[in-house]
A and B are shown apart, each in its own frame.
Chain A
Amino acid sequence: MYQMKKTFEKEKTEMRAAYCDTLRELARENDRICILDADLVGSSGVKAFFEEFPDRAIDCGIQENNMIGVAAGLSAAGMIPFAHSFGPFASRRCVDQIFISCAYAKNNVRIVGSDPGVTAAYNGGTHMPFEDMGTLMSIPKIMLVEPTDTVQLKWLIRALEKEYGVFYIRLLRKNAVGVFEEGSTFELGKFARLREGRDTAIVCSGIMVGEALKAAEALAAEGIEAAVLNAFTWKPMDEQALAEYAETCGCFVTAENHNIIGGLGSAVANSLSRIRPVPVEMVGVEDSFGEVGTEDFLRKRFDLTAEHIVRAAKAALARK
């Protein structure tokens, strides 16, 4: 079970440090764990893994397609590979390798794409994935996850070790807003229910979780009770929870650091249209390319704020 913190502040530990530490712990327990990178070892924070397990850490150089294929081959040999690059290059650039060599061939591969959406900040539009989850979503059986903070990330990496399949982990490298108490556990494919409410339900992921919690506070001050649901698994979608909240709330807001086309909003709407059609308002990137700037500038530029969630919630309520 998960416990929420009393207040939500930036964590002291970077997500990439938690990622590396967890992988090292796992690698000590399981000699089949290995990692691959495409000349981003310095950025992804896994140097300590390379030092501790030089035989199980492979820097492939700047060749993401080959890296994903090598990961598939390592899986076929019985290893459990984690392969990382920046989000656009780990996903968009490697779609066919992920599709054929990993998924279609039924290999066991974890792909890590870092710097989701606006968190790519100074690297700009070329490095800013608003489409990574959407690009991979139509690959059959792939699981798409975006951990919220270090606590959820550590749990997730350990949970995925026990699974078999192809997984894409959308990983923030920097400091996340801490939401969960240490030791919290979750369920793959199920929303973490962060706040209950009967008027509307906000389905959120990644950096938008903190914004959604702020928005729910602001809405409460105006007498609107919003549920907050953390969809750290985008695929498979928690349709059971959607059905429940469609019944109790009757409308939804989605909040994502991603293009709303092919993203979390689309996935939620897709499920709801079949389960129980109710109004859905979407906060996210509106079919745009990324651009350069500070993360704060970009959050405002692409309307990824608590204020936009509040506005969307009121619009959803008006449509009930």
Chain B
Amino acid sequence: MEKNKELRVFAEEIRVETLKELAHLGFGHVGGCMSIVELLAVLYGKEMRYDPQNPGWEERDKLVMSKGHAGPAVYATLALKGFFPKEELLTLNQGGTNLPSHCDRNKTPGVDMTTGSLGQGISAACGLALGNRILGRNDSYVYLVMGDGECDEGQVWEGAAFAAHQMLDHLIAFVDWNKQQLDGACEDVLDLGDMVDKFTAFGWFVRKVDGHNVDAILAAIEEGKAQDQQPVMIILDTVKGKGCELAEHTFPCHHIKFTAEQIAPSIEKAEAALEAARRA
């Protein structure tokens, strides 16, 4: 049983809202949205400093969702925190929307970096952390979320070497280790081996936690913040599609299509999980 009940409730709220968003469309990146719901709950429910009334506040903590296809989960989180009305979530991917499939800092209040071309977020996050250091924003952290499949990209490892060399200790990164990419299991498409070993070898402070346990994520972030001179990497051991029955039973579930009838039971179960979390 998790101690941080309010974060569990927030996670389930994000899950339900994200599913409703995607259900409205009938397709989307369900798998990779579901697997980072607990992380988003911890970041926006506890760790990050931000102001929904002033999304451009310079001293804020920033999130680079480098796996930009998880945009719908980010939007649900931001709407729940009051960056924009929840009703707007149903405009996802519609012409003229502020909520495109991949994160866009010029469209969505609260989105800090434009992403979608995989591998680029780590460099932008390094630049943000470096800029904060140059400008003396010593209390500002930059959070970075990468996919495990995304780590196929060479730029990820350029950034990994750079962050360690520059001792960007206010950069806190996550790999959503959900073990699937678009074409199948990561180990079948391009096996990158042990992520902990890899980032450790690149000079990062690394922890690996259950990515669906809000207490464990929170503790790892706190531990990472307490050390200095190294960038922090938290490998989130996750299940792609977590909490969406349909996605969990579809392989691969990176991007799936469904009818309203097909997704309805998954939403009901997610809503039941939310009710259970509220009662707990």
Contacts and interface: CB of A to CB of B under 8 A. Distances in A.
The answer to whether A and B interact is: yes
A69 B159 contact: yes
B131 interface: yes
B130 A69 contact: no
A63 B158 contact: yes
Interface stretch (B36-44, B112-120, B211-219): B112-120
Nearest to B125: A73
A40 interface: no
A72 B128 CA distance: 8
Given A73-B125, A101-B114, A106 B106 contact: yes
A171 to B, nearest CB: 22
B117 A100 contact: yes
Interface in B88-116: 104-106, 112-114, 116
A70 B114 CA distance: 13
Range of interface residues on B (Cβ < 8 Å): 20 to 34
A110 B41 CA distance: 37
A58 interface: yes
Interface residues of A, number: 32
Contacts of B134: 34, 55-56, 74, 77, 79
A55 B136 CA distance: 11
A116 B112 CA distance: 35
B202 interface: no
Nearest to A68: B123
A71 B127 contact: yes
Given A58-B130, A105-B106, A65 B155 contact: yes
Nearest to B155: A65
A56 B131 CA distance: 9
A60 interface: yes
Contacts of A104: 114
A277 interface: no
Nearest to B129: A73
Interface in B163-198: 165-166
Contacts of B158: 63, 65-66
Contacts of B131: 73-79
> Which of A61, A65, A66, A105 lies at the interface centre, i.e. has the most chain B CB atoms within 10 A of its CB?
A66
Interface in A56-105: 56, 58, 60-61, 63, 65-79, 81, 96-97, 99-101, 104-105
Contacts of B123: 65-70, 72-73, 97, 101
B179 to A, nearest CB: 26
Contacts of B105: 76, 105-106
Contacts of B62: 76
A61 B164 CA distance: 13
B135 interface: yes
B162 interface: yes
A139 B62 CA distance: 27
Chain B interface, >50% SS class = helix
A269 B56 CA distance: 43
A73 B162 contact: no
B118 to A, nearest CB: 10
A73 B105 CA distance: 12
B162 A76 contact: no
Contacts of A71: 127
Contact of A70 (B112, B113, B127): B127
A75 to B, nearest CB: 7
B23 interface: no
A108 B157 CA distance: 25
Contacts of B127: 69-77, 81
Given A76-B105, A100-B117, A66 B112 contact: no
A81 B162 CA distance: 17
A66 B114 contact: no
Nearest to A58: B130
A70 B121 CA distance: 9
A249 B155 CA distance: 50
Given A76-B124, A100-B120, A101-B123, A70 B130 contact: yes
Interface string A26-49: 000000101000000000000000
A70 B58 contact: no
B48 to A, nearest CB: 16
Interface string B123-162: 1111111111011000000000000000000110011011
B122 interface: yes
A320 B114 CA distance: 50
Interface string A140-179: 0000000000000000000000000000000000000000
A100 B113 CA distance: 10
Contacts of A65: 123, 154-155, 158
Contacts of A81: 127
Contact of B116 (A78, A97, A100): A100
Interface of B: 58, 62, 64, 104-106, 112-114, 116-117, 120, 122-132, 134-135, 154-155, 158-159, 161-162, 165-166
Given A63-B161, A74-B131, 17 more contacts: A65-B158, A66-B122, A66-B162, A69-B120, A70-B127, A72-B124, A73-B125, A76-B112, A77-B127, A77-B131, A96-B117, A96-B120, A97-B155, A100-B114, A101-B124, A106-B105, A106-B106
The 3 A-B pairs of least Cβ separation, nearest first, read A73-B127, A69-B123, A77-B131
13 contacts: A60-B162, A61-B161, A63-B161, A63-B162, A69-B124, A69-B155, A70-B130, A73-B124, A73-B131, A74-B131, A77-B130, A77-B134, A101-B117
